Structure 1
Amino acid sequence: MKHELDRILQTLCQALPEATGAVVASSEGLVVASYPEDLEPTRVAVMAALAHELGQRVASTLSQGNFHEATVCGEQGCVSLYSIDGGVLLAVQLPAGVNLGLVHLEARSSAYRIRQALRPSSPGF
């Protein structure tokens, strides 16, 4: 499974050459997978978990349903966060000025593939 997640993250970062990295993390802030290797995945995972918790609270308080995604942009870049089944998150780091529409398109597709990779396989009969 980890190999599959690494491959999905690598494919995502190749599809978005502006991306500086991507992390799959638990909602508790634990790293599940990351790309590239020189990224600080632990810091990204913890921040993603905090942003996810805040996003959940905002969505709930404002009666918007379950949290799905959020993007936080600063002067030097953005982080887009996507909720995946079972308390798993995808965080993608990007430079300032990136085309967020393209980022969302690629990242949502990757989130779907991650969701599929994390699903337990059914026993064969």
Structure 2
Amino acid sequence: MNAETMMGTELQGLRRRRPEVTGTVLAGTDGLLISSDLPLTDATYLAALAAASYGVGNRMAATVRQGPFHESVVHTGAGCVITYPAGGDALLTLVAAPGADLVALREEALAMVHRAGPALAACRRSTPLTPLQTDPHTPLAVRTPMSTLPGQRTRRDPHITWRRPPI
């Protein structure tokens, strides 16, 4: 059984055990969907929003220097959405109904996160990554208008007379 199938089974089991959970999504920190059990909303959108929420929460935690990011909770008029990091590169997002026992839900979600993190990390380690090119004289694979080759100077247009104001 692969990690995605295993996590899909875990997500469905969580919803069966906790009736106040109306949906679950497991996504990468890059916002790509891994697995979901979310009946009412498009899971790909929630995966992307969870990654954005994680990015903002992680930046806030780093700014205030009070330890690493643990969870993000968004309270709405009809419940709440909670996002937990699952390992180094995954996120577990739960959609809960109003009146949910968030303390008990947190304990169960963290137990699932501790199971999910190593399984997903092992799955990602098994896929080989392409090595980066280290030779500076190798041509660029994709050229954009702003890219230059090593040793090439950029030229200023003599007709441009304005300068960017200092920041």
Question: What TM-score, normalized by structure 2, do the two folds share?
Answer: 0.68
Counterpart pick for 2:11 among 5, 9, 12: 9
| Matching of residues 33-72 of structure 1 within 5 Å | 33-36=35-38, 39-72=41-74
Give me the CA root mean square deviation: 1.9
Percent of pairs with identical residues: 33
1:1-32: CA deviation from partner (whole Å, max 9, x where unpaired): 21101011111111211111101101111100
State the one-letter code of the partner of 1:13: R
Distance 1:6 1:66 in 2: 27
Partner in structure 1 of residue 76 of structure 2: 74
For structure 2, the residue ranges without an aligned partner over 5 or more in a row are 124-167
For structure 1, the residue ranges without an aligned partner over 5 or more in a row are none
Distance 2:12 2:34 in 1: 14
Question: What TM-score, normalized by structure 1, do the two folds share?
Answer: 0.89
State the one-letter code of the partner of 1:93: V
Structure that is richer in strand per residue = 1
Q: Secondary structure at the match of 1:101?
A: helix
Q: Secondary structure at the match of 2:88?
A: helix
Partner in structure 1 of residue 146 of structure 2: none
* Length, aligned pairs only: 123
Structure that is richer in helix per residue = 1
Counterpart pick for 2:122 among 114, 120, 123: 120
Using CA pairs under 8 Å that are at least 6 residues apart, name the structure with larger relative contact order, 1 or 2: 1
